[in-house]
């Protein structure tokens, strides 16, 4: 992983026209900054200047101004931000926009009649909510919680499908200073209970049921089983979404519609410290106990508003659609960010490939979406359906594409760029994590882009690439690090400070070690190569799964790939590859030889895969991430552990049967 890589890729997108009038250009002009290179360099070297200037520019609303930007007296890991400041995310989002004509910084409020949410379910149902309607609903839910004696700092579980009410519940929590704990509605009882107990959640919001892939998902019964193991939960509040019969426990379970029917709208709590927790966001937990990341009102909003404002240039006339779930970081990120900038958000319940492979493309066309965000894995799956599904849809309203989740392969990236964006939209390919509720790397709409590039360091994030000794690298693959604290970094792991310090600060003391392989080239473009803890060592040569997978999917008949390293008595480890074929393709000895030769030619003979196995599907989380660790354990015949975060665990059975 320490080889030198030359900048040989061609630029595929150059900003012009309206892109050169993006908000980030206005910010640069106000500070006498000549170009994007100077902006990134200055914001990374002088992070204090950037954050103070950016928050003032964006019009942050403070109930009490902070006295100093940050307090590093306990070291990088435990930095506090906006010392003595008081604010609430709600005051900066829904509350700000209710009265049309207000202005702060570059923002102007949109008014209560502006469209906030467009909701669609895969079963054809549709709803719309204005800013006023969403605010009213959130206020009544907030008052219902107050009536149940919820206090600021109390944790509130959210285990609901992607419906407008899930957005309202999130904002209701923020409004009264409760801490939102979003959980994937596809998680099983054990995963839900683990999070509820860890967070000490007093209330759980759920629904009777949801719909996905044309099937009813019995959410309430899963919640009941989880709550049986979570005695901290005093009440379960149920949204009647599918009108199904569910068991309601007297005294504990309450219908949401009954609670809000006569409720007044709660006022927004305005004396919250900027360091007051807003959300506990949990990692997937596919490789160990889930980590509860702690995000504050001030820190989370600073990062999210900056990214949607500068990287995505979000405007109040934009229709923003990220294919996500409340249980993935991108759910709260999208909800808070769109409401900060007064835009309209599309919320979708269901699977993107159901009932037809063009479900997402049709939604873009029907709702005039201007920004579409989607994971690389999901694009690989949709590409396998064939070009005809995307080509028949008019998506000319798109001006920006977004992606995150894991590294791209070039073929899939270019399909997204060519077929979806028609070569006219930049791909804002971002990478960060739940622990940052935002990005370490992110393009800006004024940057030229190469295939698979992540642009450059996020503004104000002080990003670098280190070798093993902690020396900064140029043009070589190394460890992605952050040299200075940022406002949105988690305030430890909930109830586990030692694990937090060990995870991020043990490799390079005083430096945030993120665990990704990265490279910056001579043109200023940055690239990722997968997780460093996924690294496979074959006969002394290190390689990331993503590097091998990118080569495999270049084959015209391969839709997706997953690569693991397994023990080998001579080489230490060897490569075992799982491939999903394009529709109509047939696996053969000739194809296997071609794939082995492609990898050997590109990465070196020693890295030719020992085994290549065709499978019908790869196991993934709901957010589209391939669970390589589970694949490896299944292949080796080891216990795979909790699979409730895996959407299609049946895919692992194929791996077991092949191994057998």
Sheet of 456-457: strand order equals 431-433, 438-442, 456-457
Per-residue model confidence (pLDDT) at position 6: 37
Q: Does residue 590 sit within a domain?
A: yes
Q: Is the per-residue pLDDT at 1 higher than 60?
A: no
- Tens of pLDDT, residue by residue over 385-427, are 899 999 999 999 999 999 998 788 899 999 999 999 999 999 9
Statement to judge: residues 37 and 149 lie in one domain: no
Statement to judge: residues 565 and 525 lie in one domain: no
Question: Exposed, middle or buried: residue 65 (CB in 10 Å: 0-12, 13-18, 19+)?
Answer: exposed
Q: What is the number of domains present in the chain?
A: 3
Q: Is the per-residue pLDDT at 245 higher than 80?
A: yes
Statement to judge: residues 455 and 559 lie in one domain: no
- The answer to whether the beta carbons of residues 547 and 348 sit under 8 Å apart is no
Statement to judge: residues 555 and 520 lie in one domain: no
Statement to judge: residues 13 and 51 lie in one domain: yes
Lowest mean pLDDT of 358-367, 567-576, 640-649, name the range. 640-649
8-state DSSP, 202: S
- Tens of pLDDT, residue by residue over 336-351, are 999 999 999 999 999 8
Q: Does residue 334 sit within a domain?
A: no
User: What are the DSSP calls for 55-100, one per residue?
Assistant: HHHHT---SB--SEEEE-TT-GGG-EEEET-B--HHHHTHHHHSST
Statement to judge: residues 582 and 515 lie in one domain: no
Q: Is the per-residue pLDDT at 2 higher than 60?
A: no
Q: Is the per-residue pLDDT at 322 higher than 60?
A: yes
Statement to judge: residues 504 and 618 lie in one domain: no
Domain boundary (261, 283, 304) is at 261
Q: What is the CATH number of the domain that holds 41?
A: 2.30.38.10
Statement to judge: residues 571 and 609 lie in one domain: yes
Lowest mean pLDDT of 360-369, 410-419, 472-481, 633-642, name the range. 633-642
Average pLDDT in the chain: 93
Q: What is the mean pLDDT of residues 572-588?
A: 92
Q: What is the mean pLDDT of residues 473-481?
A: 93
Quick count: other Cβ atoms within 10 Å of Cβ 653? 12
Per-residue model confidence (pLDDT) at position 59: 98
pTM for the structure as a whole: 0.89
Q: Does residue 507 sit within a domain?
A: yes
Statement to judge: residues 509 and 548 lie in one domain: no
Q: Does residue 160 sit within a domain?
A: yes
> Which residue has better confidence, 548 or 208?
208
Question: Nearest 5 degrees, angle CA 187-CA 188-CA 193?
Answer: 95
Q: Which pLDDT band, with edges at 50, 70 and 90, does 541 fall under?
A: confident
Domain boundary (510, 534, 558) is at 534
Statement to judge: residues 505 and 617 lie in one domain: no
Q: Which pLDDT band, with edges at 50, 70 and 90, does 58 fall under?
A: very high
Domain boundary (481, 516, 534) is at 534
Q: What is the CATH number of the domain that holds 561?
A: 3.30.300.30
Per-residue model confidence (pLDDT) at position 5: 37
CA distance 451 to 495: 41
Q: What is the CATH number of the domain that holds 206?
A: 3.40.50.980
Q: What is the mean pLDDT of residues 156-184?
A: 97
Which residue range forms the structural domain that includes residue 153? 131-261
Statement to judge: residues 555 and 500 lie in one domain: no
- The answer to whether the beta carbons of residues 156 and 180 sit under 8 Å apart is yes
Q: Does residue 322 sit within a domain?
A: no
Per-residue model confidence (pLDDT) at position 156: 98
Q: What is the mean pLDDT of residues 481-497?
A: 97
Q: Does residue 424 sit within a domain?
A: no
Q: Does residue 272 sit within a domain?
A: no
- Range list of H helices, 470-627: 497-505, 545-552, 589-603
- The answer to whether the beta carbons of residues 300 and 203 sit under 8 Å apart is no
- Tens of pLDDT, residue by residue over 300-309, are 999 999 999 9
Q: Does residue 65 sit within a domain?
A: no
């Amino acid at each position: 992983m320490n080889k030198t890589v030359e900048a040989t890729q061609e630029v595929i997108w150059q900003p012009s026209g309206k892109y050169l009038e993006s908000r980030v250009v206005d910010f640069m002009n106000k500070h006498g900054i000549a170009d994007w290179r100077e902006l990134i360099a200055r914001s990374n070297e002088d992070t204090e200047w950037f954050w103070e200037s950016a928050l003032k520019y964006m019009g942050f609303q403070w109930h009490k101004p902070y006295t100093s930007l940050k307090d590093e007296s306990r070291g990088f890991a435990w930095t506090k931000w906006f010392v003595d400041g008081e604010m609430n995310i709600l005051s900066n989002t829904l509350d700000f926009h209710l009265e049309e004509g207000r202005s702060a910084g570059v923002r102007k409020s949109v008014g209560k009649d502006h469209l906030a949410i467009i909701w669609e379910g895969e079963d054809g149902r549709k709803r719309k909510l204005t800013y006023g309607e969403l605010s009213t609903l959130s206020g009544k839910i907030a008052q219902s919680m107050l009536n149940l004696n919820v206090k600021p700092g109390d944790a509130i579980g959210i285990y609901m499908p992607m419906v407008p009410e899930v957005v309202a519940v999130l904002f209701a929590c923020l409004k009264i200073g409760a801490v939102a704990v979003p959980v994937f509605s596809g998680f099983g009882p054990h995963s839900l209970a683990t999070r509820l107990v860890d967070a000490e959640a007093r209330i759980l919001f759920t629904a009777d049921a949801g719909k996905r892939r044309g099937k009813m998902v019995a959410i309430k019964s899963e919640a009941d089983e989880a709550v049986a193991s979570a005695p901290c939960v005093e009440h379960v509040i149920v949204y009647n979404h599918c009108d199904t019969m569910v068991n309601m426990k007297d005294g504990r379970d309450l219908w949401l519609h009954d609670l809000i029917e006569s409720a007044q709208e709660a006022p927004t709590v305005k004396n919250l410290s900027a360091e007051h927790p807003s959300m506990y966001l949990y990692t997937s937990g596919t490789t160990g106990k889930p980590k509860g990341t702690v995000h504050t009102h001030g820190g989370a909003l600073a990062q999210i508003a900056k990214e949607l404002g500068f990287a995505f240039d979000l405007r109040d006339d934009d229709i923003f659609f990220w294919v996500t779930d409340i249980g993935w970081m991108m759910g709260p990120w999208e909800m808070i960010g769109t409401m900060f900038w007064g835009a309209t958000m599309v919320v979708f319940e269901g699977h993107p490939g159901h009932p037809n492979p063009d479900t997402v493309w049709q939604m873009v066309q029907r709702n005039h979406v201007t920004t579409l965000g989607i994971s690389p894995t999901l694009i690989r799956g949709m590409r396998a359906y064939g070009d005809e599904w995307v080509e028949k849809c008019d998506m000319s309203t798109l001006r920006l594409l977004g992606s995150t989740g894991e590294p791209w392969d070039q073929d899939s990236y270019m399909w997204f760029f060519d077929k979806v964006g028609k070569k006219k939209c930049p791909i804002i390919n971002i990478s960060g994590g739940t622990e940052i509720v935002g990005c370490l790397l992110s393009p800006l709409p004024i940057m030229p882009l190469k295939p698979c590039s992540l642009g450059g360091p996020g503004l104000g994030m002080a990003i670098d690439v280190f070798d093993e000794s902690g020396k900064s690298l140029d043009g070589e693959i190394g460890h992605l690090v952050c040299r200075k604290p940022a406002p949105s970094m988690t305030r430890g792991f909930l109830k586990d400070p030692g694990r937090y310090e060990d995870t991020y600060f043990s490799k390079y003391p005083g430096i945030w070690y993120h665990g990704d392989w990265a490279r910056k080239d001579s043109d200023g473009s940055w690239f990722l190569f997968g997780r460093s803890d996924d690294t496979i060592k074959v006969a002394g040569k290190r390689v990331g799964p993503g590097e091998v997978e990118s080569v495999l999917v270049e084959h015209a008949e391969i839709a997706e790939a997953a690569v693991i390293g397994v023990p080998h008595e001579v080489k230490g480890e060897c490569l075992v590859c799982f491939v999903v074929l394009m529709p109509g393709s047939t696996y053969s000895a000739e194809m296997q030889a071609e794939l082995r030769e492609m990898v050997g030619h590109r990465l070196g003979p020693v890295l030719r895969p020992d085994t290549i196995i065709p499978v019908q599907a790869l196991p993934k989380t709901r957010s589209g991430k391939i669970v390589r660790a589970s694949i490896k354990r299944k292949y080796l015949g080891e216990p795979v552990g909790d699979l409730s975060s895996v959407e299609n665990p049946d895919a692992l059975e194929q791996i077991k049967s092949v191994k057998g």
